């Protein structure tokens, strides 16, 4: 693939980039080449250095060594703004938009249409609407961005970057919070852009997506370049070996038979439970040692169901029972008191305390549960932190590191550890594998099964239907904020779930456009 | 349903308060009283406009009271002792105060220091400097001062809209336009949302910080000039504690103390509410003027509680998720 002497210089050329954070060598002599019109996947485990490479190339972090060239010319952007000026538009891994501004202002911040020094608000909204329409989104662009779901925010961030019409578009895990339909729209747009000669860097842990969209793959491991290949000629197992540096143990999926879980005790049950304008009343039984999957499109009421079950949102009808006894779940505290745990989908806003260390984050919920007058001894804390760092393979394996300095996927694992440490009876996981690499992904799925065998009851939300099928004993399908179908045993497969989601074609089209 | 915008609530409180006062003292509802209220609070309205920008951007400026004090002394000395023509003195103090604000903004950005600390230092610095210039009150006798004081637009009903009230109204309107209609204004909100994110989105955070504190100090300088017109003197102890009245006006006006939300119009209404309380106390005649502070304190509490409520409401997820928005 090295350029023959007569060919034009590649669109983006990164040579010998190194970057250390103190003693952590996040990148060592990494090379990366992106051609015009190419969709190039940048892959690697959690903490491999993907996001760091992107931030170094776009000038968010200063680099220690190396060169970056665009069309053969050296560039050294010193801020995200300068990178955009040099022709690189980026959606960073953390959705980087401003929840207090309107959707339209977010899309056009610092580049609003102007007349005589005045922002043309009407024109800006019109363009914002048109831009989002390309992504199948029809929303009120004058409303604050923070009033919309993570997915809408993510689409907005992508739309903004695409509209910067740069020569290079970098997307760091853009699909993590999108559902299938939105991913397809995004891929359509990426293909169009590539056709126009724009080079696209795509980071993802979804290998299916990588194979679907990318032309070429570059793999990083522990901050070093492992290699660059043509996607078409790289078998999946070989790719995984490149990423992990070892073989992946196959996950076996074994499911309890229908009769088996009938016999189990009910851990928590919800009868006619719901809230007006939030989720239609539903019946749900969660048994010990059982995984219930919640499937459905974004906005179908999955997260809402989870919040009601945990007590993060107050139900206005129905009855909840824990181990058969009626209970009132009015606040997250009530949920915790009854032995529930909830791992939310928005880790940045709802969970992780970036300034605290890994250890402090892990013991947070356990400490809250015990109450402030019964502090955990430092020795216990260390022991708990060490156990979960090992169990979930959190890297770097240093419990005293501030969580904010971990890579995105490792932060997700810390959040999971926090709830596991409380030894809950019911654990609600909202998109537990989002942003987690293939190796850890398999680990987490294995862990979910193990926890079940210990009698834990799990309610898991996931957009990954394959994943849900792998670990669920029962699957509840939601549509338009109502529970529409429950599948159990042999009936659980991707096809049936899709059929249930799409049972009413009109509803799907409507959802997709909303 | 996102609830009433906070500034609207301030407006309702103002109208209700005004109506209540007018029932007890019918004379309050006259252009004469309103005119005086605007004149008495002109300097406050001007600094509060600048403070609104600072607070929305997620910062705070504690130096404004001292900058006003310094400006009055500087202007008085420049005109009376150093023989500068008044206009030159005005330009000089505006340049000085703008530079002072820019310097504070630069320090905040470059050394990544909390604005609270930097502007607290600025507060002592400016106050100290005005004592260095003069410890006594310096009366200003220049003819411009009497001309300006004598000039006023007559309002129906016998009220007078003085020059300084007009200046204040112009600055409030100008500030509102700048905040709500320009790119600069949008960036101010962006900074208040998150500095790091604004920077990743291409906002020149450093330049913005410098400009915002420059604006605040510049308006404090103008407020100082206005204050010198109001009192016809320069005194190093003038406007002590005004930074706190200013912050109170901004918060009562519905601006979030944590940044990211607010409006200049709300601030203006907040200034008027404080003025109204003062007027009521003057009319009553028996109440100590310290009741102004107590009433302001109570209002502050009420508004902060209200904002927390609104913020909590806005944070509630799924009020508008993808699926529901049609
Ligand atoms: N600001 C920082 N300070 C210190 N260390 C950091 C910082 N940012 C990242 N690191 C470290 O650099 C390494 C690479 O992190 P990076 O975020 O690039 O990983 P990644 O490949 O994007 O992983 P993921 O798939 O989880 O997002 C990690 O070990 C991380 O802990
Ligand atoms: Mg990353």
**pLDDT tens-digit map of B13-42:** 889 888 988 888 888 888 888 899 999 999
- Closest ligand 1 atom, residue A409 Cα: 26
On whether both A217 and A184 belong to a single domain, the answer is yes
Ligand nearest to the CA of A23: 1
In the sheet with A88-91, reading across from the earlier edge strand, the strands are A88-91, A168-172, A199-203, A39-43, A216-221, A224-230
- In total, how many domains does chain A have? 3
Predicted local confidence at residue B170, as pLDDT: 97
Q: What is the mean pLDDT of residues A203-225?
A: 90
Q: Which residues pair with A320 in a beta bridge?
A: A270, A327
On whether both A335 and A457 belong to a single domain, the answer is yes
Confidence of residue B82 (pLDDT cuts 50, 70, 90): very high
Find the range with the poorest average confidence among A22-36, A292-306, A491-505, B235-249. Answer: A491-505
pLDDT in tens, B208-259: 999 999 999 999 999 999 999 998 889 989 888 899 999 999 998 989 888 8
Domain definitions of chain B by residue range: 4-310
Confidence of residue B321 (pLDDT cuts 50, 70, 90): very low
Cα–Cα distance between B191 and A97 in angstroms, integer? 11
Is the residue at A1 inside a domain? no
Cα–Cα distance between A398 and A384 in angstroms, integer? 13
CB A361 within 8 A of CB A353: yes
User: CA angle, corner A347, sides to A346 and A351, nearest 5?
Assistant: 115
Would you call A168 helix, strand, or coil by DSSP? Answer: strand
Of the residues A423, A440, A466, the one at which a domain ends: A423
Q: Provide the CATH number for the domain formed by B4-310 in this structure.
A: 1.10.3470
Nearest CA in chain A to B200: A80
Find the range with the poorest average confidence among A286-295, A337-346, B58-67, B136-145. Answer: A337-346
CB A119 within 8 A of CB B223: no
| CA distances (Å), origin B125, targets A112, A113, A184, B66, B102 | 39, 42, 60, 8, 15
On whether both A112 and A231 belong to a single domain, the answer is yes
Other beta carbons within 10 Å of B287? 14
User: CA angle, corner A115, sides to A112 and A118, nearest 5?
Assistant: 70
Is the residue at A5 inside a domain? no
Would you call B5 helix, strand, or coil by DSSP? Answer: coil
Cα–Cα distance between A247 and A42 in angstroms, integer? 20
pLDDT in tens, B190-218: 999 988 889 888 888 999 999 999 999 99
Expressed in angstroms and rounded, the spacing between residue A205 Cα and the centre of ligand 2 is 10
Predicted local confidence at residue B99, as pLDDT: 97
Find the range with the poorest average confidence among A285-289, A441-445, B192-196. Answer: A441-445
Is the residue at A345 inside a domain? no
Nearest residue (by CA) to ligand 1, atom 2, is: A405
CB pairs under 8 A between A and B: 126
Question: Within 13 A of A175's CA, how many CA atoms are on the CB side?
Answer: 23
Here the tokens at position A332 are 């997250």
3-state secondary structure A203-255: ECCCHHHHHHHCCEEEEEECCEEEEEEEHHHCCHHHHHHHHHCCCCCCCCCCC
Predicted local confidence at residue B114, as pLDDT: 94
On whether both A73 and A86 belong to a single domain, the answer is yes
Q: What is the mean pLDDT of residues A347-368?
A: 79
Q: Nearest CA of chain B to the CA of A202: how many Å?
A: 18
Mutation choice for B interface testing from A51, A108, A137, A149 by most B CBs within 10 A: A149
* Residue B307: pLDDT over 70: no
On whether both A206 and A240 belong to a single domain, the answer is yes
On whether both A367 and A431 belong to a single domain, the answer is no
Expressed in angstroms and rounded, the spacing between residue B31 Cα and the centre of ligand 1 is 64
Is the residue at A4 inside a domain? no
The interface residues of chain A toward chain B in range 140-199, judged by CB-CB distance below 8 A, are: 140, 143-144, 146-149, 151-152, 160
The answer, yes or no, to whether any atom of ligand 1 lies below 6 A from the CB of A396, is yes
On whether both A362 and A487 belong to a single domain, the answer is no
Confidence of residue B270 (pLDDT cuts 50, 70, 90): very high
Expressed in angstroms and rounded, the spacing between residue A249 Cα and the centre of ligand 2 is 24
Is the residue at A308 inside a domain? yes
| CA distances (Å), origin B254, targets A322, B80, B174 | 44, 41, 19
The answer, yes or no, to whether any atom of ligand 1 lies below 6 A from the CB of A60, is no
Mutation choice for A interface testing from B178, B261, B318 by most A CBs within 10 A: B318
Is the residue at A410 inside a domain? yes
Expressed in angstroms and rounded, the spacing between residue A447 Cα and the centre of ligand 1 is 24
Q: What is the mean pLDDT of residues B72-89?
A: 93
* Residue B151: pLDDT over 70: yes
* Residue B108: pLDDT over 90: yes
Report the complex ipTM.
0.81
On whether both A419 and A430 belong to a single domain, the answer is no
pLDDT in tens, A392-423: 888 888 888 888 888 877 888 888 888 888 88
* Residue A510: pLDDT over 80: no
* Residue A348: pLDDT over 90: no
Of the residues A389, A423, A457, the one at which a domain ends: A423
On whether both A294 and A440 belong to a single domain, the answer is yes
Expressed in angstroms and rounded, the spacing between residue A395 Cα and the centre of ligand 1 is 9
Q: What is the mean pLDDT of residues A295-315?
A: 85
Q: State whether the Cα torsion A343-A348-A353-A359 is positive or negative.
A: positive
Find the range with the poorest average confidence among A170-179, A367-376, B41-50. Answer: A367-376
3-state helix, strand, coil in chain B (%, to 5): 75, 5, 25
pLDDT in tens, A215-266: 999 999 888 999 999 999 988 888 888 888 766 655 444 554 444 545 578 8
Here the tokens at position B309 are 């409520």
Nearest CA in chain A to B185: A119
Of the residues A423, A449, A481, the one at which a domain ends: A423
On whether both A493 and A447 belong to a single domain, the answer is yes
Q: What is the pTM of this model?
A: 0.76
Is the residue at A465 inside a domain? yes
pLDDT-above-70 percentage for chain A:
91
Contacts of B202 in chain A (CB under 8 A): 79-81, 84, 109-111
| Averaged confidence pLDDT in chain B | 88
Is the minimum CB–CB distance between B194 and chain A shorter than 8 Å? yes
On whether both A418 and A474 belong to a single domain, the answer is no
On whether both A311 and A381 belong to a single domain, the answer is no
| Averaged confidence pLDDT in chain A | 83
Cα–Cα distance between A198 and A264 in angstroms, integer? 56
Contacts of A307 in chain B (CB under 8 A): 317-318
Contacts of A84 in chain B (CB under 8 A): 202
The interface residues of chain B toward chain A in range 305-324, judged by CB-CB distance below 8 A, are: 314-315, 317-324
The range of the structural domain enclosing residue A406 comes to 351-423
Is the residue at A7 inside a domain? no
Q: Nearest CA of chain A to the CA of B33: how many Å?
A: 36
């Amino acid at each position: 693939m090295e350029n023959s002497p007569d060919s034009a210089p590649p669109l983006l050329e990164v040579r010998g980039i190194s970057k250390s954070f103190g003693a952590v060598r996040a990148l060592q002599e990494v090379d990366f080449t992106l051609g015009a019109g190419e969709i190039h996947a940048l892959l690697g485990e959690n903490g491999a250095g993907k996001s760091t490479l992107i931030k170094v190339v776009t000038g968010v972090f200063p680099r220690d060594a190396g060169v970056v060239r665009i069309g053969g010319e050296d560039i050294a952007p010193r801020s995200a703004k300068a990178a955009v000026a040099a022709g690189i538009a980026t959606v960073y891994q953390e959705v980087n938009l401003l929840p207090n501004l309107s959707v339209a202002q977010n899309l056009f911040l610092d580049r609003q249409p102007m007349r005589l020094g005045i922002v043309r608000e009407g024109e800006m909204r019109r363009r914002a609407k048109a831009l989002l329409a390309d992504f199948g989104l029809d929303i009120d662009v004058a409303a604050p961005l923070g009033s919309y779901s993570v997915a809408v925010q993510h689409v907005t961030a992508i739309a903004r970057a695409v509209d910067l019409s740069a020569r290079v578009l970098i997307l760091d895990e853009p699909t993590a919070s999108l559902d299938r339909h939105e991913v397809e729209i995004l891929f359509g747009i990426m293909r169009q852009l590539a056709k126009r000669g724009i080079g696209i860097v795509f980071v993802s842990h979804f290998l299916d997506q990588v194979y679907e969209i990318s032309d070429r793959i570059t793999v990083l491991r522990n901050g070093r370049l492992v290699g660059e290949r043509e996607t078409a000629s790289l078998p999946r197992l070989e790719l995984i070996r490149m990423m992990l540096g070892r073989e992946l143990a196959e996950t076996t999926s074994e499911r309890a038979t229908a009769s088996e879980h009938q016999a189990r005790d009910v851990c928590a049950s919800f009868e006619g439970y719901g809230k007006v304008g939030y989720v239609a009343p539903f019946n749900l039984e969660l048994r010990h040692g059982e995984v219930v999957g919640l499937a459905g499109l974004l906005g179908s009421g999955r997260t809402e169901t989870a919040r009601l079950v945990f007590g993060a949102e107050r139900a206005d009808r129905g009855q909840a029972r824990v181990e058969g006894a009626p209970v009132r779940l009015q606040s997250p505290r009530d949920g915790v008191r009854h032995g529930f745990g909830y791992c939310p989908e928005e880790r940045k806003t709802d969970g992780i305390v970036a300034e605290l260390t890994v250890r402090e984050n892990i013991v947070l919920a356990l400490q809250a549960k015990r109450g402030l007058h019964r502090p955990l001894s430092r020795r216990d804390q260390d022991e708990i932190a060490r156990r979960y760092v090992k169990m979930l393979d959190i890297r770097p394996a240093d419990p005293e590191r501030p969580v904010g300095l971990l890579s995105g996927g490792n932060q997700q694992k810390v959040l999971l550890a926090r709830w596991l440490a409380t030894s809950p009876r019911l654990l609600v996981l909202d998109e537990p594998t989002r942003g987690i690499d293939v190796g850890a992904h398999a680990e987490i799925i294995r862990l979910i099964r193990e926890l079940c065998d210990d009698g834990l009851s799990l309610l898991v939300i996931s957009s990954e239907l394959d994943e849900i099928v792998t670990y669920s004993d029962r699957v509840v399908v939601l549509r338009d904020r109502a529970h529409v179908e429950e599948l159990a045993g042999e009936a659980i497969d991707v096809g049936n779930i899709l059929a249930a989601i799409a049972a009413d074609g009109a509803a799907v089209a409507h959802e997709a456009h909303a | 349903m996102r609830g009433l915008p906070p500034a609207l609530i301030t407006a309702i409180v103002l109208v209700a308060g005004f109506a209540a006062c007018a029932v007890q003292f019918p004379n309050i509802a006259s252009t004469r009283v309103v005119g005086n209220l605007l004149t008495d609070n002109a300097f406050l309205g001007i600094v509060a406009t600048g403070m609104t920008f600072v607070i929305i951007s997620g910062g705070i400026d504690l130096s404004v009271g001292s900058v006003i004090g310094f400006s009055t002394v500087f202007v008085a000395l420049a005109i009376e002792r150093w023989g500068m023509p008044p206009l030159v003195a005005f330009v000089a103090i505006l340049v000085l105060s703008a530079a002072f604000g820019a310097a504070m903004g630069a320090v905040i950005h470059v050394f990544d220091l909390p604005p609270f600390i930097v502007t607290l230092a600025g507060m002592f610095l400016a106050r100290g400097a005005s004592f260095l210039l003069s410890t006594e009150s310096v009366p200003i006798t220049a003819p411009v001062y009497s001309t300006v004081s004598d000039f006023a637009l007559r309002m129906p009903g016998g009220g007078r809209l003085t020059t300084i009230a007009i200046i204040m109204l112009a600055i409030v309107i100008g500030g509102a336009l700048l905040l709500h209609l320009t790119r600069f204004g949008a960036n101010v909100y962006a900074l208040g949302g998150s500095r790091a994110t604004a920077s990743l989105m291409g906002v020149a955070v450093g330049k913005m910080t410098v400009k915002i504190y420059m604006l605040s100090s510049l308006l404090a300088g103008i407020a100082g000039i206005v204050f010198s017109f109001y009192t016809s003197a320069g005194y190093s102890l003038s406007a002590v504690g005004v930074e706190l009245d200013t912050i109170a006006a901004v918060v009562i006006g519905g601006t979030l103390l944590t940044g990211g939300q607010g409006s200049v119009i709300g601030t203006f209404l907040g200034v008027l509410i404080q003025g109204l309380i003062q007027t009521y106390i003057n009319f009553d005649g028996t109440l100590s003027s310290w009741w102004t502070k107590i009433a302001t304190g109570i209002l502050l509490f009420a508004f902060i509680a209200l904002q927390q409520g609104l913020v909590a409401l806005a944070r509630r997820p799924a009020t508008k998720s993808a699926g529901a928005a049609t």
